[in-house]
Structure 1
């Protein structure tokens, strides 16, 4: 039988001793995503119930519903509405639904859940929300839902809008 000491070579011991401790990230975790126009947005991870890929045939259209709503899906036995987030926020581009899957972010507050269809999912970012501000006021229909903005270091010209999921859920726009 081989002992643990026999598994380590001199070079592997050197590598094991050079391991740096992991640093705890500061701030809060946020999910970055993109609208059909390519505009970058994010939600705090605490406001997200689930992130999923839905095939277009899994989203059941509802006749005479708001044009913002794509239909409903079954999320673990619960029927929830799925809306086009880009259209809700006044994005000029149209969400492509003729593709194999559509990314959907389910946001939740006080047991109210809404699925938001987007163009694509991006990275996760640790942010200190207290250090963020609004540097470039967003377009008129998106403005009420933007909490702050930031520019990721790795993508200098990209401006990400941090959205408030609770304000989106409670918006009067769903009644139109």
Structure 2
């Protein structure tokens, strides 16, 4: 991933280069991630639970012969446990050679947008941790929270999943 000039927060690029994202819902809130780390999108399939796994790990699934962990994305983001439905999907991602699935309530769109559309998350005094958030942007009357998978699954945290 290339890095460009950044704003005061040191997180949101300020150039107008287009980026491609995949947007998805967790409950009523939309989130998105860059497509550069996404390998594929699969329909919901039951995963096999693992004893003593991290609370975010729903279990393991077989992806064409490779066993990968499936993460409950809502739980990872501190939003409680998201129960899969027939509309749920597994967004298969790869970071530094590690492959894993992110369970989302539903995939909404694949978009191309200018990086200048992404705004920094405002400072809040309520103890909100914006460590996983790269920014936020408006799309069709909704605010979409732009997640940074590298930060969500940083080196210290990867040991919990891989």
What range describes the TM-score normalised by the shorter chain of this pair? 0.7 to 0.9
In structure 2, the residue matched to 1:54 is 44
TM-score (norm 2): 0.77
TM-score (norm 1): 0.71
Q: CA deviation at 1:130?
A: 3.9
Q: CA separation in 1, counterparts of 2:31 and 2:41?
A: 15
Query: Superposition RMSD on alpha carbons, in Å?
Result: 2.3
SS at match of 1:66: coil
Runs of 4+ in 1 over 6 A off after TM superposition: none
Alignment of 1:152-171 (within 5 A): 152=139, 154=140, 156=141, 158-170=142-154
Number of matched pairs: 142
Q: Unaligned regions of 5+ residues in structure 1, if any?
A: 1-25
In structure 2, the residue matched to 1:105 is 91
As a proportion of its length, which structure holds more strand?
2
Q: CA separation in 2, counterparts of 1:28 and 1:39?
A: 21
As a proportion of its length, which structure holds more helix?
1
Preserved contact between residue 55 and residue 100 of structure 1 (Cα < 8 Å): no
Alignment partner of 1:29 is 2:17: no
Q: CA deviation at 1:87?
A: 0.6
Tell which structure's C-alpha radius of gyration is larger: 1
Q: CA separation in 1, counterparts of 2:143 and 2:123?
A: 11
